[in-house]
């Protein structure tokens, strides 16, 4: 090329690049490019076909001097060997020169189209994209047989490169426009309140949903974010007016989520979940923030409704369980009272119908007294359970010396312990607890009595204490060396009338009295809870059972 060609090429190239930079439509850029090349190559007609990679077809891009009928006829042609110069070039990714289309075998199917358009020669060059694969073809036609010269090859190489730049730029620009359109629809039409906030914490853009949340009908653009949203105390370390990427820890892709309030115009604020995401700038710094605001009103209402339904269902089940338990308790009380009452009636009839000597008379009266005591204990326990359930059990909480109460219990149970050869002992200091003295004695009587009754004959029962972890309570253990509770009984140990029997009751109820009513542990647990303490099975096995009380200490009394 001579100097004039180079200058004209540079001028046309500048014009094309200016159009590309101005985001001109691809068709306009290609028309200018092809017109410039035709001006440098007299007698030539040029065209650009764009490749649809998915379908493998070529489509009209630009052809300012080719007949419109010819362009329409080849639009959508499939690429492949034998598909003319352009289809073959796109398929093989090589330049294809057909000096005379009338004799070139690759033009067999398209020869009649070329002849009707007055075309005899076609030279096609693939236009490569950024990935190195064809995105289209650049074709030069002549009305007579022709083979390109070296000058023409240089010109076509240069203009093919410009076409590649224009096509790639149009693709990027089209993707950006499409992305912007999707974003606009997603942003503006989203039911979620959304805002874009600049580094100055001022709203640069907001959607209809957020404006509706704030109320007032005014556009939020230009307002500080702190006038629109306020974080709930404790969920964010700083005010939204002090929004900073580093301080909020959102310099990484993970968004910041916190609860906030939408500050409504002249109305009640709306509880919301706020998500803040960072939009980095070209230098990697904070360019803008995307703020999403989710109205929690419906969710909170649904949560309240769900909790209300759950509470109602729980109350219903509890009422049914209480009714069932009450029925079971009445049946059990009747069963428990029937046996000792039969003993009372039987021995009373025996005293009235038979002339007994003094020894047998005293024995019968003893059985009557034991049975009557059993009935009285049963009725007392049932009454206490009813009072506990109603929250009406009278208590007189006062400082109580634990060792004194244990000594009283040991004295009351000494005869039963001697009868089984059980040794009673305690390891207690001067600990003072806050309890109802009579009720605490009742609990310990039950626990020590059970330990004596179910422990190993000739064994031991020990009571010991230690400071609870919370330092405001004392732990008291009642331990025996018996065989322990059966594993299947443990889950029901504190259930009323639940008992692990060792043998059948006699007709006179003596063994039943020995077994107990089955109310003791359940009542003991309720009494401890009423006094602010607790009762649990610490361990139970072949080496014995350990029941542990947690009793509140008396104020100012720490003991050991």
The string of pLDDT tens digits covering residues 349-359 is: 777 787 778 88
- 456 near 524, Cβ under 8 Å? no
Mean pLDDT on 380-396? 70
**Among 396-400, 447-451, 494-498, 556-560, which stretch is predicted with the lowest mean pLDDT?**
556-560
Query: pTM for this one?
Result: 0.42
Strand runs labelled E in 210-335: 229-231, 256-262, 270-280, 286-295
Mean pLDDT on 67-72? 93
Distances (CA, A) of 497 to 336, 362, 478, 541, 548: 9, 32, 21, 22, 21
Structure tokens at 60: 């009209």
Q: Specify burial of residue 517 (Cβ count, 10 A radius: 0-12, 13-18, 19+).
A: buried
Angle between helices 358-390 and 297-353 (to 10 degrees): 170
Per the document, the length of the chain is 560
Mean pLDDT on 89-106? 93
- 262 near 193, Cβ under 8 Å? yes
Residue 513, pLDDT score: 39
Say yes or no to pLDDT of 512 above 50: no
Instruction: In whole angstroms, give the CA distance from residue 403 to residue 426.
Output: 8
Which fold is adopted by the domain 191-295? Beta-Lactamase (3.30.450)
Distances (CA, A) of 493 to 374, 463, 486, 524: 21, 20, 10, 11
The percent of residues above 70 in pLDDT, for the chain, comes to 81
Instruction: In whole angstroms, give the CA distance from residue 311 to residue 514.
Output: 42
Q: What is the dihedral of CA 249, 251, 255, 259, to 10 degrees?
A: 40
H/E element, 135: strand 134-142
Say yes or no to pLDDT of 374 above 60: yes
Rounded to 5 degrees, what angle do the CA atoms 116, 122, 123 make? 165
Residue 288: which of 332, 239, 250 has the closest Cα?
250
Angle between helices 3-21 and 150-188 (to 10 degrees): 10
Same fold, 191-295 and 394-560: no
Mean pLDDT on 125-144? 92
Instruction: In whole angstroms, give the CA distance from residue 550 to residue 540.
Output: 18
| pLDDT one-digit tens code per residue, 331-371 | 666 656 666 777 777 778 777 787 778 888 788 788 777 77
Architecture of domain 394-560: 2-Layer Sandwich (3.30)
Strand runs labelled E in 409-530: 423-427, 432-436, 460-467, 473-480
**Among 126-135, 345-354, 546-555, which stretch is predicted with the lowest mean pLDDT?**
345-354
Say yes or no to pLDDT of 83 above 80: yes
- 3 near 32, Cβ under 8 Å? no
Residue 299, pLDDT score: 83
Map out the domains of the chain as residue ranges. Answer: 3-180, 191-295, 394-560
Architecture of domain 3-180: 2-Layer Sandwich (3.30)
| pLDDT one-digit tens code per residue, 180-206 | 777 777 777 788 888 888 878 888 888
In the chain, what are the helix, strand and coil shares in percent, each to the nearest 5? 45, 25, 30
Distances (CA, A) of 541 to 26, 320, 420, 482: 89, 35, 20, 8
Instruction: In whole angstroms, give the CA distance from residue 148 to residue 158.
Output: 14
State the chain's mean pLDDT as an integer.
81
- 289 near 279, Cβ under 8 Å? yes
């Amino acid at each position: 090329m001579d100097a004039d060609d180079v200058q004209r090429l540079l001028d046309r190239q500048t014009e094309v690049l200016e159009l590309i930079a101005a985001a001109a439509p691809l068709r306009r850029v290609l028309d200018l490019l092809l017109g410039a090349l035709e001006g440098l190559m007299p007698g030539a007609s040029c065209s650009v076909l764009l490749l649809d990679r998915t379908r493998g077809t070529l489509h009209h891009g630009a052809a300012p001097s080719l007949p419109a009928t010819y362009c329409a006829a080849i639009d959508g042609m499939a690429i492949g060997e034998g598909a003319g110069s352009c289809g073959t070039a796109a398929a093989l990714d090589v330049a294809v020169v057909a000096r005379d289309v009338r004799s070139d075998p690759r033009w067999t199917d398209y020869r009649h189209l070329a002849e009707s358009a007055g075309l005899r020669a076609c030279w096609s060059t693939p236009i490569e994209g950024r990935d190195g694969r064809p995105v289209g073809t650049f074709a030069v036609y002549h009305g007579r047989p022709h083979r390109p010269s070296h000058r023409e090859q240089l010109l076509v190489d240069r203009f093919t490169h410009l076409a590649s730049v224009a096509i790639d730029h149009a693709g990027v620009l089209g993707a950006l426009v499409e992305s912007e359109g999707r974003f606009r629809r997603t942003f503006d039409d989203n039911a979620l309140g959304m805002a874009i906030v600049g580094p100055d914490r001022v709203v640069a853009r907001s959607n209809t949903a957020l404006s509706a949340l704030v109320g007032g009908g005014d556009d939020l653009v230009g307002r500080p974010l702190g006038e629109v949203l306020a974080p709930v105390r404790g969920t964010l370390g700083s005010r939204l007016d002090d929004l900073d990427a580093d301080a909020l820890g959102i310099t990484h892709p993970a968004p910041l989520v916190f609860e906030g309030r939408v500050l409504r115009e002249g109305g009640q604020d709306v509880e919301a979940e706020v998500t803040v995401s960072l939009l980095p700038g070209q230098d990697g710094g904070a360019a803008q923030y995307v703020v999403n605001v989710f109205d929690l009103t419906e969710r909170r209402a649904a949560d309240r409704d769900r909790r209300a339904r759950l509470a109602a269902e729980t109350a219903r089940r509890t009422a049914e369980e209480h009714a069932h338990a009450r029925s079971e308790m009445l049946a059990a009380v009747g069963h428990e009272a029937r046996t000792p009452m039969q003993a009372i009636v039987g021995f009373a009839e025996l005293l009235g119908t038979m002339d007994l000597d003094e020894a047998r008379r005293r024995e019968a009266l003893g059985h009557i007294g034991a049975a009557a005591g059993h009935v009285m204990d049963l009725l007392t326990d049932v009454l206490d359970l009813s009072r506990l359930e109603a929250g009406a059990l009278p208590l007189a909480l006062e400082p109580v010396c634990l060792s004194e109460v244990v000594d009283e219990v040991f004295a009351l149970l000494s005869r039963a312990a001697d009868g089984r050869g059980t040794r009673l002992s305690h390891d207690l200091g001067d600990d003072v607890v806050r309890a109802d003295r009579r009720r605490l004695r009742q609990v310990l009587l039950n626990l020590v009595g059970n330990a004596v009754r179910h422990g190993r004959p000739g064994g031991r029962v020990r009571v010991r204490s230690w400071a609870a972890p919370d330092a405001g309570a004392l732990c008291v253990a009642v331990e025996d060396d018996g065989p322990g509770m059966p594993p299947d009984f443990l889950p029901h140990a504190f259930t009323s009338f639940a008992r692990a029997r060792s043998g059948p009751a006699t007709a006179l109820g003596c063994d039943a009295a020995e077994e107990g009513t089955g109310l003791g542990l359940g009542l003991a647990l309720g009494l401890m809870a009423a006094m602010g303490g607790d009762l649990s099975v610490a361990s139970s096995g072949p080496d014995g059972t350990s029941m542990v009380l947690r009793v509140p200490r008396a104020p100012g009394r720490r003991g050991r």
